[in-house]
Chain A
Amino acid sequence: QVQLQESGPGLVKPSETLSLTCTVSGGSIRSHYWSWIRQPPGKGLEWIGYMHHSGSANYNPSLESRVTISLDTSRNQFSLKLSSVTAAEAAVYYCARYVTSTTLAYFDTWGQGTLVTVSS
């Protein structure tokens, strides 16, 4: 059974870069797409982007200029970097597996989430 676990700093200063890592166990990141999704406290879910081990990536246009998702197949991890963060980007950040084929596409496995606060 695939499991995901986020890790990284819980506090980031405004204008700096948020960096998080998701460790995948029970399965290889050489399959499927690997995604980041965030949720501000008390609010809804926002898709950030995802990446496939082939190098194919897709980002939310609202964040695209500041986001990088990368995969480390040797460590079975993937990471998120979001630059120039603002206080409004404080949220629980989730990593998730994105399963897709010609007829279906969904986020089937999620990490527990990690809260990132943006404050000086």
Chain B
Amino acid sequence: DIQLTQSPSSLSASVEDRVTITCRASQTISTYLNWYQQKPGKAPKLLIYTASTLQSGVPSRFSASGSGTDFTLTISSLQPEDFATYYCQQSFITPHTFGQGTKLEIK
């Protein structure tokens, strides 16, 4: 299985901060990397697909990049509604796997 390792596992930040989360794959996955946001008690929500494409309706303060094994998700100016857990997920090969999550908390 392809392992996805996110860093950091948790992060404290303030409103309007710029934050970056990284996701590293155990082998190359081209750009078959997606990012999801999950709030407590809710289902994950697709933010970014194919490494860098913003899902319809997602604010432009979210951006992402990467290919191969190293990927990043950036939130340019944190808003109160952005405090959540973020997961990366690979669709390069099955079994599809997710990173362990990055919990973004308010400082």
Which chain A residues (22-48) contact chain B, with CB distance < 8 Å? 44-47
Contact, CB under 8 Å: A44 / B55: no
Also in contact, A112 and B87, with CB within 8 A (given A45-B98, A46-B98): no
**B50 contacts chain A at the CB level, 8 A cutoff:** yes
Cβ distance B21 to chain A, nearest Cβ, rounded Å: 14
Chain B contact-residue range equals: 20 to 34
State how many angstroms separate the Cβ of A115 from the closest Cβ of chain B.
Answer: 10
Whether the Cβ atoms of B98 and A44 lie closer than 8 Å is: yes
Segment touching B, from A11-19, A79-87, A100-108: A100-108
> Chain B nearest CB: distance from A8 CB in Å?
16
Contact (Cβ within 8 A) A111 B98:
no
The answer to whether A44 and B101 touch across the interface, beta carbons within 8 angstroms, is yes
Q: Are A104 and B89 in contact (CB under 8 A)?
A: no
Interface residues of A (CB under 8 A from B): 44-47, 58, 60-62, 94, 96, 100, 103-108, 110-113
